Structure 1
Amino acid sequence: MRLGARVGRWGAAVSVLAVAAALLVAVGPAGAGPVRTASGHRWITDDQGRALVLTGLNTASSAKSRPDGLPWIKEGDVQREADALGSNFVRFLIQWRSVEPEPGAYDDGYLDRVAERVRWYGARGIHVMLDLHQDVYGPAVKGNGAPAWATEADGLPVAERGQWELKYIEPGTVRAFDHFWGTRPGGRDLRAHYAAAWAHVAARFADDPAVLGYNLMNEPFGGSVQGPAFEAGPLAALYRQTIDAVRAVDRDSWIFVEPEAVSANWGLPSALPYLPDPRGDGEDARIAYAPHLYPLPMDLGGGYTGDTATWVDRTLASWREQTEKTARRLGAPVLIGEYGLDATLPGAPAYVARVRAMADELGAGTAYWSNDPGSWAPWDQNLRPTALLPVLDRPQPRAVAGDPVAYAWDAESRTLTLSWRPKPGVRGDTEVYLPARSFPHGGLVTGSGVAGAWDSKSRTLHITSGADGAGGTSVRIRPAP
Structure 2
Amino acid sequence: MPNIRARLLVVLVVLCGLCGFLTVAGSPSATAATLPDSLPFDGTALTVSNGRFVDGNGREVVLRGYNVSGETKLAENNGLPFASVADARKSATALRTLGGGNSVRFLLSWAYAEPVRGQVDTAYLAAATDQMRVFLDAGIRVYPDFHQDLYSRWLFDDDSWYTGDGAPKWAVDAASYPDESCGICLFWGQNITQNGAVKAAQYDFWHNAYGLQDAFLATAQQTMAYVRQHLSAEEFAGVVGFDPYNEPYAGTYTSGQTSRTWERDLLWPFYVKFRARMDAAGWQDKPAMVEANLFWNANIDSQKQEGGLLDAGTLGSRYVFNTHFYDQKAISGILMWGKAADGQYVTDFGAIRDRAAAAGTAAVVSEFGHPLAGTVADKAPTVLKAMYQSLDSRLKGASWWSSPATSGPVLSGSQWQWDIYNGRHHELMNGNAGKVLTSGDAWNDEDLSAVRLDDSGTAVLRQDARLLDRVYPSATSGSTVAFSYEDRSRDGSTTLTWNPVPGSLPNVANLVGSGQYGLLLWRSGGGSAPTELHLPASFPTSSTTVVSDLGTAHAPPAYTSTTPIAAAPEPGGTGSRRLLLTDQDSGVLHYALVTNGATSPSSAVLSAARSELAAWAASHT
SS at match of 1:261: coil
CA–CA distance in 2 between the matches of 1:302 and 1:57? 28
Amino acid at match of 2:483: Y
Distance 1:463-1:477 versus aligned 2 partners, 3 A rule:
same
1:398 aligns with 2:474: yes
- Alignment partner of 1:65 is 2:90: no
The CA deviation at 1:440 is 5.2
CA–CA separation in structure 2 for the residues paired with 1:146 and 1:3: 18
- Residue of structure 2 aligned with 1:129, choices 133, 143, 150: 143
2:168 maps to what in 1? 147
TM-superposed CA distance for 1:94, in Å, is 0.4
Q: Alignment RMSD, CA only?
A: 2.9
* 1:224 counterpart letter in structure 2: T
What is the correspondence of 1:176-215 to structure 2 with a 5 Å cutoff? 176-182=201-207, 187-206=209-228, 207=233, 208-215=236-243
Corresponding residue SS for 1:257 = strand
Aligned residue for 1:263, secondary structure, equals coil
Deviation at 1:200, TM superposition (A): 1.8
Matches within 5 A, 1:183-332: 187-206=209-228, 207=233, 208-225=236-253, 227-248=259-280, 249-266=282-299, 268=304, 269-273=306-310, 275=312, 282=316, 285-301=317-333, 306=338, 309=340, 316-332=345-361
Partner of 2:579: 461
Give the drift of 1:222.
0.6
Shift of 1:276: 7.2
1:156 corresponds to 2:173: no
**What is the one-letter code of the residue matched to 1:166?**
Q
Amino acid aligned to 1:387 = Q
Contact preservation (8 Å) 1:240, 1:275: no
Q: Deviations over 1:361-403 (max 9, x none)?
A: 1421111111123452323563543234321111112111222
Contact 1:96 1:132 in 2 (8 A): yes
Change (3 A) 1:324 1:386: same
Aligned to 2:2: 2
1:409 Cα deviation after fit: 1.3
Letter in 1 for 2:271: Y
Shift in alpha-carbon separation, 1:251–1:95, aligned structure 2, 3 A: same
Q: Secondary structure at the match of 1:292?
A: strand
TM superposition shift of 1:171: 1.9
Q: Secondary structure at the match of 1:44?
A: strand
Distance in structure 1 (CA, Å) of the matches to 2:411 and 2:263 = 22
Measure, in 2, the Cα distance between the counterparts of 1:171 and 1:4.
Answer: 16
Q: 1:377 aligns with which of 441, 449, 454?
A: 449
Give the counterpart letter for 1:273 in structure 2.
L
* SS of structure 1 residue aligned to 2:170: helix
Q: Separation in 2 of the partners of 1:214 and 1:318?
A: 27
Q: Summarize the Cα distance change of 1:271–1:233 in structure 2 as closer, same or farther, 3 Å threshold.
A: farther
Distance 2:337 2:196 in 1: 38
Q: Secondary structure at the match of 2:580?
A: strand
Cα offset, 1:132, TM superposition: 0.6
Q: Distance in 2 between matches of 1:90 and 1:461?
A: 21
Q: Distance in 1 between matches of 2:518 and 2:587?
A: 22
- SS of the aligned residue for 1:85 comes to coil
Q: Describe the shift of the 1:422–1:357 C-alpha distance in structure 2 as closer, same or farther (beyond 3 A).
A: same
Aligned equivalents of 1:240 and 1:329: distance in 2? 19
Q: Does 1:86 align with 2:110?
A: no
Q: CA deviation at 1:110?
A: 1.2
From 368, 372, 375, the equivalent of 2:415 is: 368
User: For 1:4 and 1:438, how far apart are their aligned partners in 2?
Assistant: 38
Over 3 Å counting, the alpha-carbon distance change for 1:6 and 1:229 in structure 2 is closer
> Is 1:434–1:459's contact at 8 Å kept on the other side of the alignment?
yes
CA change 1:447–1:321 in 2 (3 A) is: closer
What is the CA–CA distance in structure 2 between the aligned matches of 1:66 and 1:429, rounded to whole Å?
44
> Kindly tell me: are residues 342 and 80 of structure 1, through their superposed partners in 2, closer, same or farther at Cα, counting changes over 3 Å?
same
| Aligned counterpart, 2:64 | 55
CA distance in 2, matches of 1:212, 1:302: 39
Which has the higher mean CA deviation after the structures are superposed, 241-250 or 443-452?
A: 443-452
Residues 275 and 99 of structure 1, relative CA distance in 2, 3 Å threshold:
farther
2:252 is aligned with what amino acid?
S
Could you say if the C-alpha distance between residues 350 and 101 of structure 1 is closer, same or farther in structure 2, counting changes exceeding 3 Å?
A: same
- State the partner residue of 1:419: 521
TM-score for both structures, normalised by structure 1? 0.82
What is the percentage of aligned positions where both structures have the same residue?
24
User: Which residue number in structure 2 is paired with residue 42 of structure 1?
Assistant: 51
**Quick one: higher RCO (CA 8 Å, sep 6+), 1 or 2?**
2
- Quote the offset at 1:317 in angstroms: 4.3
Q: Residue 435 of structure 1 corresponds to which residue in structure 2?
A: 536
Residues 103, 329 of structure 1: alpha-carbon distance in 2 compared, 3 angstrom cutoff: farther
Structure (1 or 2) with the larger CA radius of gyration: 2
1:417 maps to amino acid: L
Alpha-carbon shift at residue 3 of structure 1 (Å): 5.3
Aligned to 2:190: 166
1:230-287 residue CA offsets vs partner (Å, 9 max, x unmatched)? 222211111111112212331112321111113324374424136479xxx75xx141
Q: Which letter does structure 2 place at the counterpart of 1:112?
A: A
Aligned length: 438
8 Å Cα contact 1:62-1:71 kept in structure 2: yes
Distance apart, 1:130 and its partner CA: 0.2
Task: Indicate the residue corresponding to 2:370 in structure 1.
Answer: 341
- The corresponding residue for 1:355 is 387
Q: 1:118 corresponds to which residue?
A: 132
Identify the match of residue 592 of structure 2 among 469, 475, 481: 475
The aligned counterpart of 1:27 is: none
CA shift for structure 1 position 346 = 2.2
What does the per-residue CA deviation read over 1:21-79, in whole Å, with 9 as the maximum and x for residues that have no partner?
A: xxxxxxxxxxxxxxx97xxx611223333211111111111111125210134311221
**Shift in Å at residue 431 of structure 1?**
1.5
Matches of 2:322 and 2:532 in 1, distance apart? Answer: 24
Amino acid at match of 1:220: P
Q: 1:433 to 1:444 in 2, by over 3 A?
A: same
Evaluate the alpha carbon distance shift between residue 129 and residue 454 of structure 1 in structure 2; reply closer, same or farther with a 3 A threshold. same
Per-residue deviation, 1:129: 0.8
Cα deviation 1:379-432 (Å, max 9, x = unaligned): 3563543234321111112111222222211345332211222336x5622221
Retained in 1: the 8 A contact 2:349–2:391? no
> What TM-score do the two structures reach when normalised by structure 2?
0.65
**How far off its partner does 1:463 sit?**
1.4
Select 1:109's aligned residue among 123, 144, 151: 123
